[in-house]
Amino acid sequence: MAFPRHRPRRLRSTPALRRLVAQTSLEPRHLVLPMFVADGIDEPKPITSMPGVVQHTRDSLRKAAADAVDAGVGGLMLFGVPRAEDKDAIGTAGVSEGGILNVALRDLAKDLGDATVLMADTCLDEFTDHGHCGVLDAAGRVDNDLTNARYVELAVAQADSGAHVVGPSGMMDGQVAAIRDGLDAAGHTDVVILAYAAKFASAFYGPFREAVASSLSGDRRTYQQDPANAREAVREIELDIAEGADIVMVKPAMAYLDVVAAAAEISPVPVAAYQISGEYSMISAAAANGWIDGRAAALESLTSIRRAGADIVLTYWAAEAAGWLA
């Protein structure tokens, strides 16, 4: 039997050959670690639905952040968890100089300086007593324009506290333009906007609700995107780029790799993707049951997101994966 002249398997025959011709790289610098810091706790609090992930105290956050940076991760994304009694209808704790997120940003800015990229989630959901991402009107609906005004205050407070990057994640129309104007007016012309440009109303957010002690009742389908709509996602991405987004992001990642690929195809700015809590937890749960190799599955999932076209991947495995890749 004659062998075919073209045999792709030749390039897979040894680890060195596979490494030489690999078309997609996964490196620690591509990874951003999301981290939760909570007010009113004395020791790190495990998040039961996200094995290995915790709500940090200010002190434990500082240590974990330094360890992640030492491991080579590209950046850190901070989420603040206020005390329940500090939540209100307009998310005052998110804007306050003494709010947990802004205090933690100042801690890490002091500790790490420019050794990493310090990012902040620019949204109201963690800080509101109703759990929505914006300010509600008299009918209980999220008011787009009032919410954008609040996002500007959040972004400026985060930039004042040392954030290199602000991440508006509420999917309000015009949020990027409003924040860019607000940051520039406050003298923060160098602060980057990472726009959650295509954020879908996903079932995979469940564990995150525990992580931030969400007060949400109901859903966010009136402002987050319908999982059925890819063309609409591309339109949202194009609008955010036109408004001045420095980076655009797709969230979640793994169930939306087609959208990640579409974003990479059209975007003149870097594309990020967020491997969210449910994606992390289902792999972790399967690994804990011995059904899959957790480390191999985690790295494969991250490589798939990079292969789809993401320049940056937010993942709860960032620090561990940096060690695995070393």
Which sequence positions are flagged as catalytic? 199, 251
At 237 the three-state DSSP class reads helix
Give the C-alpha distances (Å, rounded to integers) separating 93 from 18, 150, 221: 51, 12, 25
DSSP code of 220?
A: -
- Across 252-323, where does the E strand assignment appear? 271-274, 312-314
Contacting residues for 316 by C-beta, under 8 A, at least 6 apart: 33, 34, 50, 52, 53, 275, 277, 280
Give the C-alpha distances (Å, rounded to integers) separating 158 from 57, 110, 206: 19, 14, 26
86 — phi, psi (to 5°)?
A: -95, -5
Q: Where are the alpha helices (DSSP H) in 96-229?
A: 100-112, 144-160, 175-185, 206-211
Helix crossing, 277-288 with 294-308: angle to 10°?
Answer: 150
Are 73 and 116 within 8 A, CB to CB? yes
Are 121 and 78 within 8 A, CB to CB? yes
Among positive and negative, which fits the CA dihedral 164, 301, 211, 87?
Answer: positive
In SS3 terms, 157-178 reads as HHHHCCCCEEEECCCCCCHHHH
Cα(268)–Cα(251) distance, rounded to whole angstroms?
19
* Residue in the structure block whose two tokens are 């709500």: 55
